[in-house]
Amino acid sequence: MPTAMRFLATACLGLLLILMTACTTTAPMNPSGEFVAREIALDGQTYRYQVFVPAARFRSDKPPVVLFLNGSGERGRDGVKQTMAGLGPYLREHADTFPALVVFPQAPDDTEWTQDAGPIAFATLDAALREFNGDPDRVSLTGMSMGGYGTWELALQQPTRFAALVPICGGITVDWGRDRPSMNVHSVAGAADPFAAAAQRLKDVPVWIFHGGKDDVVPPSQSRRMDAALKAAGARDARYTEFPDANHNSWDATYAHAPMWDWLFAQRRGR
Protein backbone atom coordinates (compact mmCIF):
# COMPACT_ATOMS: atom_id res chain seq x y z
CA MET A 1 0.00 0.00 0.00
CA PRO A 2 1.42 3.43 -0.92
CA THR A 3 2.57 5.60 1.95
CA ALA A 4 -0.15 8.19 1.30
CA MET A 5 -2.85 5.53 1.39
CA ARG A 6 -1.48 4.06 4.63
CA PHE A 7 -1.46 7.54 6.19
CA LEU A 8 -5.05 8.18 5.10
CA ALA A 9 -6.23 4.81 6.43
CA THR A 10 -4.50 5.40 9.75
CA ALA A 11 -6.01 8.87 10.04
CA CYS A 12 -9.50 7.57 9.29
CA LEU A 13 -9.12 4.77 11.83
CA GLY A 14 -7.97 7.25 14.45
CA LEU A 15 -10.91 9.53 13.76
CA LEU A 16 -13.29 6.58 13.98
CA LEU A 17 -11.87 5.57 17.36
CA ILE A 18 -12.23 9.12 18.65
CA LEU A 19 -15.86 9.25 17.54
CA MET A 20 -16.61 5.86 19.09
CA THR A 21 -15.05 6.94 22.37
CA ALA A 22 -17.07 10.15 22.36
CA CYS A 23 -20.28 8.27 21.71
CA THR A 24 -19.51 5.77 24.45
CA THR A 25 -18.81 8.60 26.86
CA THR A 26 -22.01 10.52 26.15
CA ALA A 27 -24.47 7.71 25.48
CA PRO A 28 -25.82 7.34 29.05
CA MET A 29 -26.82 11.01 29.16
CA ASN A 30 -27.87 12.23 32.61
CA PRO A 31 -27.79 8.77 34.23
CA SER A 32 -29.02 10.32 37.50
CA GLY A 33 -32.30 12.12 38.01
CA GLU A 34 -32.16 15.88 37.58
CA PHE A 35 -34.21 19.06 37.62
CA VAL A 36 -34.66 20.89 34.33
CA ALA A 37 -36.02 24.42 33.95
CA ARG A 38 -38.85 25.17 31.57
CA GLU A 39 -41.35 27.94 30.90
CA ILE A 40 -44.77 28.28 29.34
CA ALA A 41 -46.77 31.15 27.88
CA LEU A 42 -50.34 31.43 29.10
CA ASP A 43 -52.73 34.31 28.44
CA GLY A 44 -49.90 36.61 27.48
CA GLN A 45 -47.81 35.81 30.56
CA THR A 46 -44.67 33.69 30.92
CA TYR A 47 -44.44 31.26 33.83
CA ARG A 48 -41.32 29.36 34.83
CA TYR A 49 -41.49 25.83 36.20
CA GLN A 50 -39.27 22.85 36.93
CA VAL A 51 -39.47 19.19 35.97
CA PHE A 52 -37.64 16.44 37.80
CA VAL A 53 -36.60 13.93 35.15
CA PRO A 54 -35.81 10.51 36.64
CA ALA A 55 -32.61 8.55 36.11
CA ALA A 56 -32.05 7.10 32.64
CA ARG A 57 -33.04 3.57 33.61
CA PHE A 58 -36.58 4.76 34.43
CA ARG A 59 -37.14 6.46 31.06
CA SER A 60 -37.33 3.48 28.69
CA ASP A 61 -41.11 3.33 29.06
CA LYS A 62 -43.66 6.02 29.87
CA PRO A 63 -42.86 6.95 33.49
CA PRO A 64 -45.51 7.83 36.06
CA VAL A 65 -46.00 11.54 36.73
CA VAL A 66 -46.45 13.51 39.94
CA LEU A 67 -47.81 17.07 39.91
CA PHE A 68 -46.64 19.00 42.99
CA LEU A 69 -48.33 22.19 44.26
CA ASN A 70 -46.22 24.46 46.44
CA GLY A 71 -47.26 26.25 49.62
CA SER A 72 -47.72 29.98 50.00
CA GLY A 73 -44.13 30.52 51.14
CA GLU A 74 -42.79 29.30 47.81
CA ARG A 75 -44.87 31.53 45.57
CA GLY A 76 -43.12 33.77 43.07
CA ARG A 77 -41.87 33.91 39.49
CA ASP A 78 -38.28 32.72 39.79
CA GLY A 79 -39.23 29.15 38.82
CA VAL A 80 -36.99 27.64 41.51
CA LYS A 81 -38.34 28.42 44.98
CA GLN A 82 -41.17 25.91 44.62
CA THR A 83 -38.56 23.12 44.66
CA MET A 84 -36.99 24.25 47.94
CA ALA A 85 -39.58 22.88 50.36
CA GLY A 86 -41.64 19.72 50.39
CA LEU A 87 -41.02 17.27 47.57
CA GLY A 88 -38.05 19.05 45.99
CA PRO A 89 -35.56 18.41 48.82
CA TYR A 90 -36.68 14.77 49.00
CA LEU A 91 -35.98 14.32 45.29
CA ARG A 92 -32.51 15.82 45.61
CA GLU A 93 -31.72 13.20 48.25
CA HIS A 94 -33.19 10.36 46.16
CA ALA A 95 -32.33 11.51 42.64
CA ASP A 96 -30.87 8.14 41.65
CA THR A 97 -33.81 6.02 42.77
CA PHE A 98 -36.99 8.05 42.30
CA PRO A 99 -38.77 6.53 39.29
CA ALA A 100 -41.19 9.26 38.21
CA LEU A 101 -41.40 12.58 36.44
CA VAL A 102 -42.34 15.36 38.86
CA VAL A 103 -43.79 18.63 37.60
CA PHE A 104 -43.29 21.76 39.73
CA PRO A 105 -45.43 24.71 38.62
CA GLN A 106 -45.10 27.84 40.74
CA ALA A 107 -48.04 29.88 41.96
CA PRO A 108 -47.23 33.58 41.46
CA ASP A 109 -47.22 35.97 44.41
CA ASP A 110 -50.67 36.83 45.77
CA THR A 111 -52.38 33.95 43.98
CA GLU A 112 -53.94 30.70 45.22
CA TRP A 113 -54.09 27.27 43.62
CA THR A 114 -57.79 27.32 44.47
CA GLN A 115 -58.25 30.41 42.33
CA ASP A 116 -56.30 31.93 39.46
CA ALA A 117 -53.15 29.78 39.72
CA GLY A 118 -54.96 26.56 38.84
CA PRO A 119 -54.70 26.98 35.04
CA ILE A 120 -50.92 27.41 35.39
CA ALA A 121 -50.68 23.99 37.03
CA PHE A 122 -52.70 22.26 34.32
CA ALA A 123 -50.76 23.99 31.53
CA THR A 124 -47.37 23.00 32.94
CA LEU A 125 -48.58 19.43 33.45
CA ASP A 126 -49.77 19.19 29.85
CA ALA A 127 -46.48 20.60 28.54
CA ALA A 128 -44.39 18.19 30.62
CA LEU A 129 -46.45 15.18 29.56
CA ARG A 130 -45.87 16.06 25.92
CA GLU A 131 -42.16 16.78 26.20
CA PHE A 132 -41.12 13.94 28.51
CA ASN A 133 -43.58 11.26 27.38
CA GLY A 134 -45.18 10.73 30.79
CA ASP A 135 -47.96 8.21 31.27
CA PRO A 136 -51.29 10.11 31.26
CA ASP A 137 -52.97 7.24 33.11
CA ARG A 138 -50.50 7.42 36.02
CA VAL A 139 -50.63 11.12 36.91
CA SER A 140 -50.88 11.76 40.65
CA LEU A 141 -51.46 15.07 42.41
CA THR A 142 -49.94 16.20 45.69
CA GLY A 143 -49.45 19.49 47.48
CA MET A 144 -48.74 20.97 50.88
CA SER A 145 -50.57 23.64 52.88
CA MET A 146 -51.91 26.04 50.23
CA GLY A 147 -50.98 23.27 47.80
CA GLY A 148 -52.97 20.82 49.90
CA TYR A 149 -56.03 22.98 49.38
CA GLY A 150 -55.06 23.18 45.72
CA THR A 151 -54.90 19.40 45.50
CA TRP A 152 -58.58 19.18 46.41
CA GLU A 153 -59.50 22.08 44.10
CA LEU A 154 -57.71 20.81 40.99
CA ALA A 155 -58.99 17.28 41.52
CA LEU A 156 -62.54 18.61 41.77
CA GLN A 157 -62.07 20.60 38.58
CA GLN A 158 -60.88 17.51 36.67
CA PRO A 159 -61.91 14.47 38.74
CA THR A 160 -61.10 11.95 36.00
CA ARG A 161 -57.61 13.35 35.37
CA PHE A 162 -55.68 11.90 38.30
CA ALA A 163 -54.75 8.37 39.33
CA ALA A 164 -54.32 9.34 43.00
CA LEU A 165 -54.27 12.30 45.39
CA VAL A 166 -51.93 13.02 48.31
CA PRO A 167 -53.04 16.27 50.01
CA ILE A 168 -50.81 17.32 52.91
CA CYS A 169 -51.83 19.69 55.73
CA GLY A 170 -54.54 21.14 53.53
CA GLY A 171 -58.29 21.38 53.78
CA ILE A 172 -61.56 22.40 52.21
CA THR A 173 -62.59 25.55 54.11
CA VAL A 174 -60.92 28.29 56.13
CA ASP A 175 -63.81 28.74 58.56
CA TRP A 176 -61.39 28.07 61.42
CA GLY A 177 -60.44 31.74 61.62
CA ARG A 178 -57.83 32.20 58.92
CA ASP A 179 -58.32 35.58 57.29
CA ARG A 180 -57.81 34.23 53.80
CA PRO A 181 -61.16 33.36 52.25
CA SER A 182 -59.57 33.02 48.80
CA MET A 183 -58.00 29.75 49.95
CA ASN A 184 -61.40 28.04 50.28
CA VAL A 185 -61.87 25.21 47.80
CA HIS A 186 -64.07 27.14 45.41
CA SER A 187 -65.52 24.17 43.56
CA VAL A 188 -67.63 23.30 46.63
CA ALA A 189 -67.71 26.65 48.43
CA GLY A 190 -71.44 27.11 47.86
CA ALA A 191 -72.44 23.67 49.15
CA ALA A 192 -74.32 23.24 52.42
CA ASP A 193 -71.61 20.76 53.45
CA PRO A 194 -68.47 21.38 51.36
CA PHE A 195 -66.74 18.28 52.74
CA ALA A 196 -69.61 15.96 51.77
CA ALA A 197 -69.89 17.61 48.36
CA ALA A 198 -66.18 17.18 47.67
CA ALA A 199 -66.21 13.58 48.88
CA GLN A 200 -69.15 12.67 46.67
CA ARG A 201 -67.34 13.92 43.58
CA LEU A 202 -63.99 12.35 44.45
CA LYS A 203 -65.06 9.02 45.94
CA ASP A 204 -63.73 7.09 42.94
CA VAL A 205 -60.23 8.61 43.11
CA PRO A 206 -57.73 6.94 45.50
CA VAL A 207 -56.78 9.44 48.22
CA TRP A 208 -54.23 9.32 51.01
CA ILE A 209 -54.48 12.37 53.28
CA PHE A 210 -51.66 13.44 55.61
CA HIS A 211 -51.62 15.98 58.44
CA GLY A 212 -49.65 16.84 61.56
CA GLY A 213 -51.46 16.36 64.84
CA LYS A 214 -49.93 19.55 66.25
CA ASP A 215 -50.46 21.69 63.15
CA ASP A 216 -50.98 25.27 64.33
CA VAL A 217 -51.47 26.73 60.83
CA VAL A 218 -54.14 24.51 59.27
CA PRO A 219 -55.97 22.51 61.96
CA PRO A 220 -55.95 18.73 61.48
CA SER A 221 -59.73 18.80 61.85
CA GLN A 222 -59.83 19.82 58.17
CA SER A 223 -58.25 16.54 57.08
CA ARG A 224 -60.17 14.49 59.65
CA ARG A 225 -63.47 15.87 58.37
CA MET A 226 -62.53 15.17 54.76
CA ASP A 227 -61.46 11.63 55.59
CA ALA A 228 -64.74 11.00 57.39
CA ALA A 229 -66.70 12.45 54.48
CA LEU A 230 -64.92 10.22 51.97
CA LYS A 231 -65.61 7.12 54.02
CA ALA A 232 -69.26 8.13 54.46
CA ALA A 233 -69.52 8.53 50.68
CA GLY A 234 -68.24 4.98 50.16
CA ALA A 235 -64.89 6.02 48.72
CA ARG A 236 -63.05 3.31 46.84
CA ASP A 237 -59.71 3.92 48.58
CA ALA A 238 -59.54 6.66 51.21
CA ARG A 239 -56.70 6.70 53.73
CA TYR A 240 -55.67 9.14 56.43
CA THR A 241 -52.39 9.33 58.33
CA GLU A 242 -51.89 11.82 61.13
CA PHE A 243 -48.40 12.25 62.52
CA PRO A 244 -49.15 12.95 66.20
CA ASP A 245 -46.05 15.01 66.95
CA ALA A 246 -45.77 16.86 63.63
CA ASN A 247 -46.61 20.52 63.23
CA HIS A 248 -47.42 22.17 59.90
CA ASN A 249 -44.39 20.72 58.11
CA SER A 250 -45.85 17.22 57.98
CA TRP A 251 -44.75 17.11 54.35
CA ASP A 252 -41.28 15.98 55.45
CA ALA A 253 -42.68 12.88 57.15
CA THR A 254 -45.11 12.28 54.30
CA TYR A 255 -42.57 12.23 51.50
CA ALA A 256 -40.21 10.10 53.61
CA HIS A 257 -43.01 7.54 54.14
CA ALA A 258 -42.05 4.71 51.77
CA PRO A 259 -45.45 2.92 51.90
CA MET A 260 -47.05 6.05 50.46
CA TRP A 261 -44.85 5.88 47.36
CA ASP A 262 -45.50 2.15 46.93
CA TRP A 263 -49.22 2.83 47.07
CA LEU A 264 -49.02 5.87 44.78
CA PHE A 265 -47.11 4.16 41.99
CA ALA A 266 -49.52 1.22 42.06
CA GLN A 267 -52.43 3.48 41.07
CA ARG A 268 -53.71 3.88 37.56
CA ARG A 269 -56.49 6.16 36.38
CA GLY A 270 -59.86 4.48 36.06
CA ARG A 271 -58.76 1.20 37.60
pLDDT tens sequence for the chain (271 residues): 554 444 444 444 444 444 444 433 333 455 789 999 999 999 999 999 999 999 988 877 899 999 999 999 999 999 999 999 999 999 999 999 999 999 999 999 999 999 999 999 999 999 999 999 999 999 999 999 999 999 999 999 999 999 999 999 999 998 766 666 677 999 999 999 999 999 999 999 999 999 999 999 999 999 999 999 999 999 999 999 999 999 999 999 999 999 999 999 999 998 7
Rounded distance between C-alpha atoms, residue 74 and residue 158, angstroms: 24
Q: How high is the pLDDT of residue 30?
A: 59
Q: Which residues pair with 212 in a beta bridge?
A: 243
Instruction: Confirm if 33 and 91 have CB atoms less than 8 A apart.
Output: yes
Instruction: Confirm if 52 and 91 have CB atoms less than 8 A apart.
Output: yes
Q: Which residues pair with 39 in a beta bridge?
A: 48
Query: What Cα–Cα distance (Å) separates residue 196 from each residue in 70, 230, 241?
Result: 25, 7, 20
Q: How high is the pLDDT of residue 33?
A: 93
DSSP 80: S
Q: How high is the pLDDT of residue 185?
A: 96
Rounded distance between C-alpha atoms, residue 199 and residue 227, angstroms: 8
Q: How high is the pLDDT of residue 177?
A: 60
Q: How high is the pLDDT of residue 24?
A: 36
Q: How high is the pLDDT of residue 12?
A: 44
DSSP 36: E
Strand order in the sheet with 65-69: 34-42, 45-53, 101-104, 65-69, 139-144, 164-168, 207-212, 238-243
Q: How high is the pLDDT of residue 58?
A: 80
Q: How high is the pLDDT of residue 55?
A: 92
Q: How high is the pLDDT of residue 256?
A: 98
